[in-house]
Amino acid sequence: MKSILSIQSHVVFGCAGNSAVVFPMRRMGVEVWPINTVQFSNHTQYQQGWQGMVMPVDQIKSLVDGLININSLSSCDAVLSGYLGSATQGKEVLYAVEQAKEHNADALYFCDPVMGHPEKGCIVVPEVMDFFKYQALPKADVIAPNLLELETLSDMKIGNIDQVKQACTMLLEQGVKMVLVKHLSKAGITTSQFEMLLATADGYYHITRPLYDFARQPVGVGDLISGLMLANLLAGHQPVRAFELTNAAVDAVLEATFKQDRYELQLIAAQDLIAQPEVKVNATTL
């Protein structure tokens, strides 16, 4: 059984950060050790607001040290990081990555560089953006930006698929083994489907899934993509197959959420197809 140390946000109600990935990854047969960067009552895109706190300085490091004390990091196969409440937490995440790799040389660092979307109510301080760009990126084995985050990481304005590939090449040349662009948005090939791109040393791969006409777009989809992709990689799937399985499972969750007319991701309803997704769309080589 593979084990993942997942360091990201937590909401009491709903699905975002660890609350969006811990159950699905466990349902896939992966042991997950969650460390929360923030604990909120609900995600920040509720108009009514939220309650909660950013975890104190040194909390992450202290918990990692506790894992070291019981010699558990020797069986840690990957560190997954997502939303950070402060730039200081970024340094603690890299401490966790350093310790995981020291205790297990094969451990991966999967970085989801959450930089926020102010227009959606997701706020991240500029120092966190700088952390991902200048400190996390050089340490990451896999990085999973959306289009806006890819623009920040590459210092490019991206408007088409060729520019996406160019930006991904820049990241690969900095040492990242894999780039998963979780949402191509305006740089995609079509407007009728949701599109993602996977870049590896072997090439560039494009995949689509249906768009659903939600009254309010669910939150936590990007977190879910990252968690499922990492779990599929640890299961031994080759990158392109892991990409296809991830796409299929996320589509199953979104379809269940849409059919039930819910705002929060319906992970429980879709759990069987998370564990055993039905791949209807294969990735194509660009």
Q: What is the mean pLDDT of the chain?
A: 95
Question: How far is the first Cα of the chain from the last one, in angstroms, to the nearest whole number?
Answer: 34
Give the residue among 252, 161, 223 at the shortest CA–CA distance from 198: 161
Element (H, E) at 166: helix 161-173
> For 199-211, how does the pLDDT look when each residue is reduced to its tens digit (9 = 90+)?
999 999 999 999 9
| pLDDT band with cut points at 50, 70 and 90 for residue 104 | very high
The domain defined by 3-285 carries CATH number 3.60.70.12:
no
Give the residue among 278, 279, 256 at the shortest CA–CA distance from 268: 256
Q: Specify whether the CB–CB gap between 63 and 37 falls below 8 A.
A: no
Q: Specify whether the CB–CB gap between 129 and 74 falls below 8 A.
A: no
| pLDDT band with cut points at 50, 70 and 90 for residue 122 | low
Go through the chain and tell me how many residues it has: 286
Query: Rounded distance, CA 147 to CA 150, Å?
Result: 5
Q: Is the pLDDT of residue 84 over 90?
A: yes
Query: Rounded distance, CA 68 to CA 275, Å?
Result: 30
| pLDDT band with cut points at 50, 70 and 90 for residue 117 | low
> For 243-261, how does the pLDDT look when each residue is reduced to its tens digit (9 = 90+)?
999 999 999 999 999 999 9
Residues 39-50 have a mean pLDDT of 92
Query: Rounded distance, CA 236 to CA 243, Å?
Result: 12
Q: Where are the domains of the chain?
A: 3-285
Instruction: At 263, give phi and psi (nearest 5°).
Output: -85, -40
Instruction: At 189, give phi and psi (nearest 5°).
Output: -85, -30
- For residue 127, the model assigns a pLDDT of 87
| pLDDT band with cut points at 50, 70 and 90 for residue 126 | confident
